[in-house]
Amino acid sequence: SPERFAAWYRNHRRKVTVVIPTYKTVELVDKCLASIFKQPSGRDLRLIVVDYGSPANIQDGLKALEKKYSEVEFVLNPTNQGFAKTCNTGLMMANGDAILLNNDTEVQDGWLEALQYCAYSSEDIGIVGPKLLYPSGLIQFGGGFRNFNAPKWFDHSYRMRPSDYGPANIAKDVLTVTGACMYIKREVINKIGVLDPGYPMAFEDVDYCL
């Protein structure tokens, strides 16, 4: 329950760095950061925004955000290095645990407390992810699985189900967690390093989980 997560977090919270990769947008980054700072846990986080080669006007907008959010670190790369290398820039700067978070996400009440509680509920857990919702309220992601009807792809569980769909509200082991919101314990980063840039978009997070 949210109360249990919050109580655990007050007594056991770990250091976390949130890495937000971004490209060609300022508005989404602003909304994402605003949602994080609406949470009491926002002040506990180290936040790193990594832009990969956006046009000059976009990077100028991000520089303006840097003034608005003085607590946030902005890394503005001159060239597009791809998703994995952009995430890795932030992961290699991170201290403590890390969260990869897409720039088009807006976090909900108690998000960090729940993720960290679940991550430390067992020594065997290395990576956790939340249920993700579309703006409509329908489920986007509830864990990754191998789609045997499309064997070259890994699909999202419960996609397009209502947000309160029962099975999606039960914590479970999953094959993969999407990099859209991925909580990674420090022990995992120390053991296996960062994302493999040899994989194309949408497979580097799968490879990392496997």
- Output the pLDDT for position 65: 97
- Output the pLDDT for position 155: 82
**Alpha helix (H) ranges present in the chain?**
2-12, 27-37, 56-68, 83-93, 111-119, 186-192, 204-209
Tell me the two tokens of residue 57.
């006007």
DSSP state of 200: P
Length of the chain: 210
How far is residue 110 from each of residues 36, 71, 202, measured CA to CA in Å?
A: 10, 20, 27
For the whole prediction, is pTM greater than 0.85? yes
- Output the pLDDT for position 148: 79
- Output the pLDDT for position 153: 74
How many CA atoms lie less than 13 Å away from 40 in the CB half-sphere? Answer: 6
pLDDT in tens, the chain (210 residues): 899 999 999 999 999 999 999 999 999 999 999 999 999 999 999 999 999 999 999 999 999 999 999 999 999 999 988 899 999 999 999 999 999 999 999 999 999 999 999 999 999 999 999 999 999 999 999 988 887 787 777 888 888 999 999 999 999 999 999 999 999 999 999 999 999 999 877 789 999 999
- Output the pLDDT for position 146: 82
* Residue 48 phi, psi dihedral angles, 5° rounding: -125, 120
- Output the pLDDT for position 171: 92
On whether the CB atoms of residues 136 and 162 are closer than 8 A, the answer is no
- Output the pLDDT for position 24: 96
- Output the pLDDT for position 209: 94
Question: Radius of gyration over alpha carbons of the chain, in Å?
Answer: 17
Q: What is the 3-state secondary structure (H, E, C) of 86-101?
A: HHHHHHHHCCCEEEEE
Residue showing tokens 């493999």 = 196
